[in-house]
């Protein structure tokens, strides 16, 4: 039991009063339940809407209305360069230079595109290591990718599974499987955080293990972006993709993100699929044959920036820049620890399957219910707790630090006691 925590209103209120990030909560719209803000622990599925989004969208509407095509050059946020609005803040989040990150398309589209560059199999080197139980979209992407290249997924896809009786992966088991593949391994692709268990993998160790065999290392950071600070450049990650609608609050279907290490991004000969928006701006409007990629991750862009699908992300990232991801991570660790402490005070028949080590998790705790998990989730939702259920038997709770408070966590605990 953490003796620094107390299950009392006085304690939670005092923590909120001491919280330097508390003011951000009022800058979001919350779903309502019984006339007050719901307890929203579902930022790992869809972040809340920043109150600044409506005005931000209106600005682009007015620029479109008043300038039409000239908005590409004369809008308040010129559309020709709209994607660069995100580079600095995302670079800080990802631990990269601004040129190593970009915003475009959506997560799985970006994954398919980047795999055309980093999965170029031969008869000898064609296997991909991934975690068993990865998010289905990644499973589908890799299954169809290897089939497209003429390989059998049962042979080409090597899944790392937890040990018998365990729900989490051990780093040594992952790196052992990678080493065992040797010269047959083309790529390691894993989720930075497993969506089901909430486990944050040892990205530096796994990346290094992949490189030791001569394979590339790529990551799906859907549950990491805006959640845990990273050092992708220093870890020598080859590429990463992520969505923007979870912790980044970009809105449903928001544009996704891409990281490409500069050793690849600054090589114009590195293979990729090209498009107009990935071509160097200095030659783009010559309208000539011959693709000349922009330096960095931007050289993988395909189509015109999706301005109206990026507006909410721009508004949200302004708050991330103001708050600082380091401060958000510190609060997140404390909020999640408080949630873990309070869960220990209840008699619900469940197990926290997320790692107890705070360095091995983000803002999410996954509760495994051997039975009646879906029914308990339904009762939570009916009681004003908005959270997420995933088969088999897991309720995922994610108190995002940008808009969740200690009082929210305590209110959740008070409701939970009535369900026990």
Two tokens, residue 123 = 């008869």
- The mean of the pLDDT values for the chain is 96
Question: How high is the pLDDT of residue 285?
Answer: 83
Q: Report d(CA 321, CA 307) in Å as an integer.
A: 20
Q: What is the mean pLDDT of residues 307-335?
A: 97
Q: What are phi and psi of 224, to 5 degrees?
A: -110, -40
Q: What is the mean pLDDT of residues 175-186?
A: 98
Q: Report d(CA 119, CA 147) in Å as an integer.
A: 12
Q: Report d(CA 341, CA 337) in Å as an integer.
A: 6
Two tokens, residue 297 = 């991750």
The pLDDT > 70 percentage for the chain reads 99
Helix (H) or strand (E) holding 255: none
Provide the 3-class DSSP secondary structure of residue 113: helix
pLDDT in tens, 323-351: 999 999 999 999 999 999 999 988 888 89
The answer to whether the beta carbons of residues 221 and 194 sit under 8 Å apart is no
Question: How high is the pLDDT of residue 1?
Answer: 43
Question: How high is the pLDDT of residue 3?
Answer: 59
Question: How high is the pLDDT of residue 396?
Answer: 97
Question: How high is the pLDDT of residue 2?
Answer: 58
pLDDT in tens, 75-103: 999 999 999 999 999 999 999 999 999 99
pLDDT in tens, 347-390: 888 899 999 999 999 999 999 999 989 999 999 999 999 999 99
The 8-class DSSP code of residue 296 comes to S
pTM of this prediction exceeds 0.75: yes
Question: How high is the pLDDT of residue 348?
Answer: 81
The 8-class DSSP code of residue 107 comes to H
Q: Where are the beta strands (DSSP E) in 169-255?
A: 185-191, 216-220, 239-242
Question: What confidence category does residue 32 fall into, taking pLDDT thresholds of 50, 70 and 90?
Answer: very high
Q: Report d(CA 148, CA 352) in Å as an integer.
A: 39
Domains and CATH numbers, the chain: 9-44+324-419 (3.90.1150.10), 58-319 (3.40.640.10)
**Alpha helices (H) in 75-166, listed in sequence order:** 87-94, 107-118, 136-148, 153-156
Dihedral angle, C-alpha 228, 258, 119, 117, nearest 10 °: -150
């Amino acid at each position: 039991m953490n003796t620094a925590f107390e299950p009392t209103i006085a304690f939670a209120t005092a923590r909120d009063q001491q919280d330097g990030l508390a003011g951000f909560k009022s800058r979001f719209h919350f779903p309502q339940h019984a006339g007050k803000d719901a307890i929203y622990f579902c930022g790992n599925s869809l972040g809340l809407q920043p109150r600044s989004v409506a005005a931000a969208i209106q600005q682009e509407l007015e620029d479109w209305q008043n300038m039409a095509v000239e908005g590409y050059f004369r809008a308040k946020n010129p559309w020709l360069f709209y994607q660069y609005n995100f580079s600095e803040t995302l670079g800080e989040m990802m631990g990269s230079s601004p040129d190593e990150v970009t915003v475009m398309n959506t997560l799985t589209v970006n994954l398919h595109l980047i795999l055309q560059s980093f999965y170029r199999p031969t008869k000898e080197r064609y296997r991909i290591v991934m975690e068993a139980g990865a998010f289905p979209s990644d499973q589908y992407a890799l299954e169809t990718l290897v089939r497209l290249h003429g390989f059998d997924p049962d042979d080409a896809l090597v899944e790392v599974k937890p040990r018998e009786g365990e729900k989490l992966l051990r780093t040594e088991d992952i790196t052992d499987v990678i080493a065992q593949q040797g010269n047959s391994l083309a790529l390691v692709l894993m989720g930075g955080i497993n969506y089901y268990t909430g486990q944050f993998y040892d990205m530096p160790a796994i990346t290094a293990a992949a490189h030791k065999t001569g394979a590339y290392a790529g990551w799906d950071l859907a549950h990491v972006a805006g959640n845990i600070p990273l050092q992708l450049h220093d870890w020598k990650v080859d590429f990463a993709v992520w969505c923007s609608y979870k912790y980044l609050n970009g809105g449903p279907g928001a544009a996704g993100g891409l990281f490409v290490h500069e050793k690849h991004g600054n090589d114009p000969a590195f293979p990729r699929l090209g498009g107009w928006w990935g071509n160097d701006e200095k030659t783009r409007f010559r309208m000539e044959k011959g693709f000349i990629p922009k330096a960095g991750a931007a050289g993988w862009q395909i189509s015109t920036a999706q301005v109206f699908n990026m507006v909410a992300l721009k508004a949200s990232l302004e708050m991330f820049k103001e708050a600082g991801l380091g401060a958000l991570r510190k609060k997140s660790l404390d909020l999640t620890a408080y949630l873990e402490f309070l869960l220990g005070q209840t008699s619900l028949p469940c197990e926290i399957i997320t790692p107890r080590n705070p360095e091995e998790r983000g803002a999410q705790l996954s509760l495994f219910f051997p039975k009646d998990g879906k029914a308990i989730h339904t009762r939570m939702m009916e009681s004003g707790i908005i959270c997420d259920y995933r088969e088999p038997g897991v309720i995922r709770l994610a108190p995002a630090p940008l808009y969740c408070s200690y009082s929210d966590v305590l209110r959740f605990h008070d409701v939970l006691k009535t369900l026990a």
